[in-house]
């Protein structure tokens, strides 16, 4: 599986990248909104995108809108990972097409389980 980690916190990228490698998965780390879109469009495209809502170069919600508006990326599942517990953001992300919403601090085991679930749902659609 190929995972895009879009988060400006390098520790999150390192932690999740190490957990994904143990699963035999590949991961790419994007540190801002522009990189997130660039890596989402680049081959091989990610199977799942983990997206932080607060990143340099534009809000994660804007990235989510662009991902879901593009025919090239609309079908890629997106898991929001954020430190913001605001239920309004959770609802907004769901309305824009996010597949799930998890709050930081991240638990790699919980994220791996959720990524597996999201990927299997996407492949059965």
CA 104, distance to chain mean position in Å, is 13
Q: At 108, which helix (H) or strand (E)?
A: helix 108-124
What pLDDT, on the 0 to 100 scale, is given for residue 125? Answer: 64
Task: With beta carbons less than 8 A apart as the criterion, state whether 80 and 93 touch.
Answer: yes
Report d(CA 4, CA 53) in Å as an integer. Answer: 14
Tens place of pLDDT for every residue, the chain, 125 residues? 999 999 989 999 999 999 999 999 999 999 998 999 999 999 999 999 999 988 766 688 899 999 999 999 999 999 999 988 888 989 999 999 999 999 988 899 999 999 999 998 887 76
How many CB atoms within 10 Å of residue 125? 7
Residue ranges of domains in the chain, CATH in brackets: 2-124 (3.40.50.2300)
Task: With beta carbons less than 8 A apart as the criterion, state whether 57 and 34 touch.
Answer: yes
Tokens at 60, concatenated? 């994660």
């Amino acid at each position: 599986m190929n995972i895009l980690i879009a988060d400006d916190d390098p520790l999150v990228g390192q932690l999740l990248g190490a957990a994904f490698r143990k699963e035999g998965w590949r991961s790419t780390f994007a540190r801002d909104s522009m990189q997130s879109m660039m890596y989402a469009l680049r081959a091989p495209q990610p199977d799942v995108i983990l997206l932080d809502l607060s990143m340099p170069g534009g809000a994660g919600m804007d990235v989510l809108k662009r991902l879901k508006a593009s025919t090239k990326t609309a079908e890629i599942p997106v898991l929001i990972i954020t430190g913001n517990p605001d239920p309004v953001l959770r609802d907004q992300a769901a309305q824009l097409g996010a597949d799930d919403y998890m709050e930081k601090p991240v638990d790699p085991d919980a994220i791996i389980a959720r990524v597996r679930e999201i990927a299997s749902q996407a492949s059965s659609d």
